[in-house]
Structure 1
Amino acid sequence: MSGVMFDPAAIRELARILRETDLTEIELVEKDSRIRVARQVTVQAVAHLPAAPAAAAAPAVAAPAAAEPVSDAAHPGLVASPMVGVAYLGPEPGAAPFVTPGSRVAQGQTLLLIEAMKTFNQIRAPRAGTVTRILIESGSPVEYGEPLMIIE
């Protein structure tokens, strides 16, 4: 380590922002310094799963939509968000998206961008295949681990 000291007040402020915004992770990168504050809420998110069978019991239009994220999260071709930020499907506003459903992709090919702390991070294909579903909209906020797309 290069002797970089972190301001405890800055860390407390990042933790406060996490609580107030219900985010699970926030990261601040400046030059050679990096502060990442995360909180564990995965167990609480799992607590919402029992609601899906109740919705499935009633013949409602919402029942298939409620069950779909569970199957997406368990899909072997899932591409999940590696960070918290805002997802963009194209390189700039108005430009064609990097991929669309049905696109063949090579391992390492850029699928989308996630903006975090004014930095655009390329999210690359973990394997070759065909994009079968895009589960987010361009410009939407994403959480760590959130399903982004399916590659089969």
Structure 2
Amino acid sequence: MSGISFDPDAIRALAQILRDTDLSEIELADGESRLRVSRSAPPPAPVVQYAAAPAPLPSAPAAAPVAAAAPAAVAEVTASTAGAITSPMVGVAYLAPEPGAAPFITLGAKVAAGQTVLLIEAMKTFNQIKAPKAGTVTRILVESGAPVEYGAPLLVVE
């Protein structure tokens, strides 16, 4: 009788492979026997929402205006901004090839046409986003691990 061994040590070894490679599951099949080891995915990155400051109560002293520099900075860069590189898909942006590695680009870096500037992970596939032209990175508009929408500006190369 052939089949997969359900040895606890082998299962632990598969679980360790999941942790080491950051995979979510491994499945082995041999004839009618199947062994699947999976782990839950990490929680999604928190979504940051900006809201207007509430109006002060009549009895409270006037509050200082709330600074909204970050949203305004992103808002002024649109898909039609010269040199803007936009997201070709919905996914999660990564500025480095793997955790702890040096980023693909930094502010002020010179890039060549066709050079990978970041990755977008969509449906468990990492897609290289390449610079459409040579230039200097003047703005980076996303953080590593942040969700991005289709058409959202990611960075500016001038």
TM-score category (smaller protein): 0.5 to 0.7
- Residue 112, structure 1, aligned to residue 113, structure 2: no
Question: Equivalent of 2:86, from 73, 80, 84?
Answer: 80
C-alpha distance in 2 between matches for 1:127 and 1:102: 15
Question: Equivalent of 1:69, from 67, 74, 88?
Answer: 74
Amino acid at match of 1:113: L
Deviation at 1:70, TM superposition (A): 3.2
- Number of the residue aligned with 2:25: none
C-alpha distance in 2 between matches for 1:137 and 1:70: 15
- Unmatched 5+ stretches in structure 2: 1-51, 53-63
Flag the 1:122–1:65 CA change in 2: closer, same or farther, 3 A.
Answer: same
Flag the 1:67–1:101 CA change in 2: closer, same or farther, 3 A.
Answer: same
1:61-102: CA deviation from partner (whole Å, max 9, x where unpaired): 22x444323321142010110000011000001000000001
Flag the 1:67–1:128 CA change in 2: closer, same or farther, 3 A.
Answer: same
Amino acid at match of 1:68: A
Question: Equivalent of 2:107, from 97, 101, 112?
Answer: 101
- Number of the residue aligned with 1:148: 154
Deviation at 1:128, TM superposition (A): 0.6
Deviation at 1:60, TM superposition (A): 4.4
CA RMSD across the alignment: 1.8
The 4+ residue runs of structure 1 with deviation greater than 4 A are none
C-alpha distance in 1 between matches for 2:92 and 2:72: 25
- Tell me which protein shows more helix as a share of its residues: 1
- Residue 128, structure 1, aligned to residue 134, structure 2: yes
Normalized against structure 2, the TM-score is what? 0.56
- Number of the residue aligned with 1:92: 98
Question: Equivalent of 2:143, from 113, 118, 137?
Answer: 137
- Unmatched 5+ stretches in structure 1: 1-50, 52-57
Corresponding pairs, count: 95
C-alpha distance in 1 between matches for 2:86 and 2:73: 15
Normalized against structure 1, the TM-score is what? 0.58
Indicate if the aligned counterparts of 2:84 and 2:154 stay in contact, CA closer than 8 A: yes
Q: Give the secondary structure class of the aligned counterpart of 2:129.
A: strand
Q: Give the secondary structure class of the aligned counterpart of 2:120.
A: strand
Percent identity (aligned): 67
